[in-house]
Amino acid sequence: MQRIIDFFLGNRLRLLFWCYLLIGIALTASENIYLKSSYLNTSSRLSGGIHLFFSGIGDYFSLASENKFLTTQNKVLMERLVAFEKYELNHDSTLMNKNFEFINGRIIKNSFTGIDNYLTLSLGEQDSVFTDMGVVNEKGLLGIIEFSGNSFSTVQSILHSKSKINVKVKGTDYFGSLVWNGKKTNNVQLIDIPDLAPIKKGDTIISGGMSSIFPENIPVGTIEDFKLTAAKNYYIIEVRLFNDMQNIGPVYVIKNHLKQEIKAVEKNTDE
């Protein structure tokens, strides 16, 4: 017994080191959903308040530019509304796509320089925001909710090594996946577009609408450059984002009312 005690006392530094290292690894790489969600929930509750406070101070200084932006956006929406009302007079409005609902919120923490970046959103389950909902702003795609706590959520940014979003080249039916190579914060890469696709620099990339997360036609960016893969059958396209990922502004979470139905149908098909 004395030997065991002596062993622990003699190696206490090494044991302590391994103990903290294992705790860190468990919190970072664990597949245990309960452990991970309890940790993320506690950490988002702790840091959420602090970030809310600091972003509140920052928001105060950007009130003038925010106001200008909202007025411009209001003008665009008013114009669209007028055009839509004219359209509605001549068409059956019940046929319109009303499956998607937008919930407005704001980003209180934004990371963009890592390999895997996340945003923290001031909305949570109490605002009907749940995992796997899409997040956009007026300029385009931002990411997908990865974890939703009671009052805050974390969003997996499109600047994340595991992000893969279905998009297409506007005006065509060529679909591909949007990924990020971890380098520039205002550029992402579009892969899986076949070499037959008629693309050119400056073409617009929009969401493909092939998932239940984002509706079709959400803007993403423009083609900055492209080249063929080594096998020469697909393009790797460099896309310049419309969004400035360092300065996001107000955001909207997209709720798809038909998501459960789509998932149920897909599940039944798989079985």
Q: Does the protein bind other proteins through residue 54 (CB under 8 A)?
A: yes
Give the up-direction half-sphere exposure of residue 37: CA atoms within 13 A in the CB hemisphere.
9
The span from the first CA to the last CA of the chain, in angstroms, equals: 58
Interface map 167-186 toward other proteins (x if CB under 8 A)? --------------xxxxxx
Single out the residue of 62, 161, 233, 260 in contact with other proteins (rule: CB under 8 A): 161
Q: Which of 108, 165, 173 is nearest to 142 (CA)?
A: 165
* Site for other proteins, residues 76 to 105, rule: CB under 8 A: none
Binding mask 222-251 for other proteins (x = CB under 8 A): ------------------------x-----
**Which residues 6+ apart lie within 8 Å of 15 measured at CB?**
8
Residues 6+ apart with CB under 8 A from 243: 137, 139, 140, 141, 142, 186, 221
The first and second tokens of residue 132, run together, are 């796997």
The H or E element spanning position 4 is helix 2-10
Q: Which helix (H) or strand (E) holds 116?
A: strand 116-121
* Residues 9 to 28 in contact with other proteins, rule: CB under 8 A: 12-13, 16-17, 20-21, 23-25, 27-28
Q: How far apart are CB 138 and other proteins at their closest, in Å? A: 21
> Shortest approach of other proteins to residue 110 CB, angstroms?
8
Cβ(130)–Cβ(176) below 8 Å: no
Taking the least distance from each CB to other proteins, the nearer of 57 and 89 is 57
State the binding string over 102-141 for other proteins (x if CB under 8 A, else -). -------xxxxxxxx-x-x---------------------
Q: Which residues bind other proteins (CB under 8 A)?
A: 12-13, 16-17, 20-21, 23-25, 27-29, 39, 43-44, 46-47, 50-51, 54, 109-116, 118, 120, 154, 161, 181-186, 246
